[in-house]
């Protein structure tokens, strides 16, 4: 799992042939999913969804500042925390399990090795976003001095992943290796106190603050091409129009462009990591029998609508790269792109299906296994039952103003042969007061957002520039509102019902 990789960057680098190992060993051997979405487009909630197969309201990890502490040592959802995560489902079939890299925000080496993991090398603390001098707990429980960690983090993750393959995996026993480098989300310096209108701080205009992969300097990365929605804020809700400065766009572009170049460089390092890990699998005789899943936890804004993080409900954050290479996939499907509507909710369920294990908690995802079937052979949008899904964001005070301005919202994303739309309800704007926020909106300063609901017809408006909510027919508005309320509390089969049916939920 890669960190903060947006689909635009991934597709451009594949097109430019700058990811040869990913292309050869995963893309050409598997299926790309062009309609893969994160239902919670911010790192920790999304990673918890990957490990549970659940919408964020059901696994309970709703933010990045508390993160792991929301379910450990006590889990208020009653699901026993990460004792019922994916790795423990696989232990039922005697899998050897390993994690290398980023786990969940606020994990702080306690426990030294969460239940269900045989091999555990986990980054923790804010230094995990540094490419050197990062803090981690090793498999033996020790915590090496960060100042001694001079190996570039991506190479370190590769080294530990290879160690797992060479020394932990038995040739006749199944294994699950979860590799989670921080790249391309490398350290992005910012200055506390910068106003909301400075989503990219002035300090970022200096390339020296960035951390490109050593083998690929910034001058080998192309410049960012501005999209049509770059710093376009007209028609957006007030949380954007009140906070984004559009008078210094060229200055912001310099900072964004330097960070883009760093991300491009770091993805080349990720590609090198993939090649090294595949070589280890081949030497062990495991490559031909190994499923490889390549994905990001969420996308990333590179100045679209003036935004520079993730979390907000637009395509740049919620539509995410996913490629899955499955041994024995029909040759006619290898290297193909599927437009089936699939989610990060689906991956744990899909892995469980492939491994023939039963999840240890009620899941909301749907198995993607039929999309790889040689008897099915159809990976199109109409071949998968889902037609829509919930996207959710819980506001918090992170100290990163580009994130903190995003209000809590629930969104309904619909994608069928006849409809391609986004309906967003922001509800209330929760003001940040002295670095703290009340997500229930009980502060007297909390006010209703003007234009609190947005509706985009993406077939007509690819860049989501025009809010057509005022033009929605009353019956459609009623349907969207009703469906969104149903999704907010759904679990398991009820979620599948609301995802797979368009009209009938009004009477459900």
> What's the pLDDT score for residue 447?
44
Lowest mean pLDDT among 26-35, 178-187, 196-205, 239-248: 196-205
In a domain, 403, yes or no: no
In a domain, 62, yes or no: yes
CA atoms of 290 and 326, how far apart (whole Å): 7
Tell me: the pLDDT tens digits for 12-63? 999 999 999 999 999 999 999 999 999 999 999 999 999 999 999 999 999 9
Question: Which H helix or E strand runs over 98?
Answer: strand 96-102
> What's the pLDDT score for residue 404?
86
In a domain, 439, yes or no: no
- CA 307 vs CA 264, 268, 356: distances in Å: 19, 25, 42
CATH number of domain containing 116: 3.40.720.10
Q: Are 265 and 216 in contact (CB under 8 A)?
A: yes
> What's the pLDDT score for residue 144?
97
Give residue 254's pLDDT band: very low, low, confident or very high (50, 70, 90): confident
List the structure tokens of 181. Answer: 């480098």
Tell me: the pLDDT tens digits for 268-298? 999 999 999 999 999 999 999 999 999 999 9
Sorted by sequence, the CB contacts under 8 Å of residue 183 that are 6+ apart come out as 2, 3, 131, 153, 154, 213, 266, 267, 269, 270
Query: How much of the chain exceeds pLDDT 70, in percent?
Result: 89
Lowest mean pLDDT among 227-231, 263-267, 429-433: 429-433
In a domain, 223, yes or no: yes
Tell me: the pLDDT tens digits for 366-410? 999 999 975 555 677 778 999 999 999 998 888 777 888 899 999
pLDDT at 208 over 60: no
Q: What is the mean pLDDT of residues 304-325?
A: 96
pLDDT at 126 over 90: no
Give residue 205's pLDDT band: very low, low, confident or very high (50, 70, 90): very low
Residue 433 or 12, more confident: 12
Tell me: the pLDDT tens digits for 226-235? 999 999 999 8
> What's the pLDDT score for residue 201?
44
In a domain, 219, yes or no: yes
* Parent domain of 241: 7-387
In a domain, 486, yes or no: no
In angstroms, how far apart are the furthest CA atoms of the chain? 63
pLDDT at 442 over 80: no
In a domain, 432, yes or no: no
In a domain, 501, yes or no: no
Give residue 189's pLDDT band: very low, low, confident or very high (50, 70, 90): very low
Count of domains forming the chain: 1
Q: What is the mean pLDDT of residues 435-440?
A: 42
Question: Which H helix or E strand runs over 155?
Answer: helix 153-167
pLDDT at 416 over 80: yes
């Amino acid at each position: 799992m890669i960190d903060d990789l947006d689909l635009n960057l991934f597709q451009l680098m594949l097109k430019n042939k700058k990811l040869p190992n990913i292309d050869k060993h995963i893309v050409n051997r598997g299926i790309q999913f062009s309609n893969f979405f994160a239902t919670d487009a911010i790192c920790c909630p999304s990673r918890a969804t990957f490990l549970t197969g659940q919408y964020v309201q059901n696994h309970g990890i709703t933010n990045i500042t508390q993160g792991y502490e929301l379910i450990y040592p006590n889990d208020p959802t009653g699901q026993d925390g990460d004792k019922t995560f994916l790795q423990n489902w696989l232990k039922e079939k005697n899998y050897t399990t390993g994690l290398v890299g980023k786990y969940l925000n606020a994990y702080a080496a306690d426990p030294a090795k969460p239940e269900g993991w045989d091999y555990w090398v986990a980054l923790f603390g804010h230094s995990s976003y540094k490419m050197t001098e990062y803090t981690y707990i090793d498999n033996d429980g020790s915590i090496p001095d960060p100042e001694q960690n001079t190996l570039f983090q991506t190479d370190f993750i590769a080294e530990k992943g290879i160690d797992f393959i060479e020394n932990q995996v038995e040739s006749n026993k199944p294994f699950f290796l979860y590799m989670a480098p921080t790249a391309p989300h490398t350290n992005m310096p910012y200055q506390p106190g910068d106003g909301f209108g400075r989503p990219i701080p002035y300090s970022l205009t200096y390339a020296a603050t960035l951390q490109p992969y050593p083998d690929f300097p910034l001058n080998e990365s192309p410049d960012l091409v501005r999209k049509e929605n770059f710093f376009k804020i007209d028609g957006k809700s007030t949380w954007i129009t009140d906070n984004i400065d559009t008078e210094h766009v060229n200055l912001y572009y310099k900072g964004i462009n330097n960070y883009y170049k760093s991300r491009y460089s770091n993805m080349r390092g990720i590609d090198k990591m993939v090649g090294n890990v595949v070589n280890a699998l081949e030497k062990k005789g495991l490559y031909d029998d190994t499923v490889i899943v390549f994905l990001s936890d969420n996308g990333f804004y590179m100045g679209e609508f003036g935004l520079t993080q993730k979390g907000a409900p637009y395509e740049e954050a919620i539509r995410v790269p996913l490629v899955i290479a499955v041994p024995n996939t029909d040759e006619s499907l290898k290297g193909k792109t599927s437009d089936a509507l699939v989610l990060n909710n689906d991956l744990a369920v899909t892995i469980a299906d492939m491994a023939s294990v039963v999840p240890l908690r009620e899941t909301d995802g749907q198995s993607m296994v039929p999309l790889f079937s040689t008897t099915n052979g159809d990976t199109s949008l109409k071949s998968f039952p889902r037609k829509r899904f919930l996207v959710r964001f819980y506001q918090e005070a992170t100290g990163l103003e580009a994130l903190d301005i995003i209000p809590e919202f629930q969104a309904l994303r619909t994608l069928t042969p006849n409809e391609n739309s986004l309906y967003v309800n922001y509800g209330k704007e929760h003001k940040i007061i002295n670095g703290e926020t009340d997500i229930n909106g009980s502060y007297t300063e909390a006010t209703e957002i003007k234009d609190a609901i947005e509706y985009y017809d993406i077939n007509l408006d690819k860049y989501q520039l025009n809010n057509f909510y005022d033009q929605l027919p009353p019956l459609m508005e009623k349907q969207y509102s009703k469906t969104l309320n149903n999704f907010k509390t759904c679990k398991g089969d009820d979620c599948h019902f609301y995802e797979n049916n368009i009209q009938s939920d009004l009477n459900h």
